[in-house]
Structure 1
């Protein structure tokens, strides 16, 4: 049974943003179990920072600027919704940060329009959840 994705609590419903590139959409249930569990933890806390039980240094709620910095790892998400309103993004680590190590490459990126994206390669590509 596919898990229906609702907009993160406190965010408006997705307004079908204009795409700046092609993005694959998938149901949450088709993604790896660690992604499903992490998503549900953030969803349960309303995407208001770290999910319960996160380790120190796990990123949650920092700005994602969605711009190409020359590395090809930015500017891939829609910049505005269908009404022309700019979309702001926040990033969340999928996995807990291991003490003494850097953050890994898996991220959620949440849009102010209610969109939710998953990247398993530090923003080189995205899957839209929903």
Structure 2
């Protein structure tokens, strides 16, 4: 029996959770600005609590669970990366700088040669 991966369709409850999370973010930002006379501690407290509540509601929705799964998978892939040693990194950096210097010299020589060809030989303009 073949298994196939089925993508879940967003349900009404998930849409409601996303709407609630968005509403909480908007309320947190509005509370931050509306409570300006109450002091910075109250402003930041309302903002932080509102944003934490929005994240908590978002994480209960299917999209939030998918985001967490994506993060876990990404972290597993990052741990598989074989990073270069310090010596290899320095060597590759030196190669890149060397190539840039050689390319800069080539372009400068090409520019000066074309300048000499067109202005001095063809047009007869002397600098």
TM over 0.5: no
TM-score (norm 1): 0.22
Bigger helix share: 2
TM-score (norm 2): 0.22
Bigger strand share: 1
